[in-house]
Structure 1
Amino acid sequence: MMMGAMSEDMMSMPGMSDLDMSVMQACLDACAACEQACTVCSTQMMSCAPACMNCADMCNTMMRAMLRMQGMTPAALVAMLDACIAMCQVCMDECMEHAAESDVCRMCAQSCQACMDACAAMRDAVLARG
């Protein structure tokens, strides 16, 4: 698990010290799964490739930012989570148009939904601290 490598110092940003690490881990895991699904989908279904590639990039950026919490304010984290949710929504909507014909698009759409749910839970946890 990625969170095992994080020290207490890394979580010392204002308002984040008591954040539930299981919520953060779930968000990291969902972003990783979504990134992988979107990457596969972008190589299989050319009509949704741009949305999938953008979503994969956003999920990767979200994971890297969460792992490097130093210097991030709760407001900045919430903004990034909102951006990740929005990108996953765009990708999911695009992939749902092909889900009936493509198992890859269906898997990608499901991963996007799971990522949106995890990012929303993380956002809610951050805002509850706020």
Structure 2
Amino acid sequence: MAVTTVEERNKACLDACAECQQACEACNYQCCADQPEMAECARLCVDCAAICALCVTLLARGSRWAEQVCRLCAEICEACAAECDKYDVDYCRACAEACRRCAEQCRQMASATA
């Protein structure tokens, strides 16, 4: 029987969270640089980046709290994607796509241990 390390088991989710964190940080920066009406988008991106970073940390060390944080991360990612979808700019589209991928991976991670 093959032994699966925590890192291997969590790799897809960890990668999706890291990608989402980077996309949210980039989107936040651009939203702040553009127009004030994008403030809510910028705020959600900051929150989403923070929860994604926490997921990466907890998944990498195999924390028993990772699955619960992944559930919350999926919710925040969906909210961020919905907000980014309101704007027809490349960085928001890229962020929304990364958020949806992350939400999907986080839900899979959370349901795998439920």
Q: Assess same fold via TM > 0.5.
A: yes
Give the alignment of 1:82-101 within 5 angstroms. 82-98=71-87, 101=88
Letter in 1 for 2:101: A
How much identity, in percent, do the aligned residues show? 34
Partner of 2:99: 112
Q: Does 1:37 align with 2:31?
A: no
Query: Residue by residue, what CA displacement relative to the aligned partner does 1:47-92 show, whole Å, maximum 9, x if unpaired?
Result: 111100110000000110111225x2xxx33321111011101111
Structure 1, gaps ≥5 residues long: 1-6, 12-19
Moved over 6 A (4+): none
Give the alignment of 1:40-55 within 5 angstroms. 40-46=26-32, 47=38, 48-55=41-48
The CA distance in 2 between the partners of 1:102 and 1:82, in whole Å, is 28
Structure 2, gaps ≥5 residues long: 33-37
Query: Residue by residue, what CA displacement relative to the aligned partner does 1:1-60 show, whole Å, maximum 9, x if unpaired?
Result: xxxxxx95xx5xxxxxxxx934x1000000000000000000001311110011000000
Structure (1 or 2) with the greater helix fraction: 2
Count of matched residue pairs:
104
Query: Pairwise CA RMSD of aligned residues?
Result: 1.9
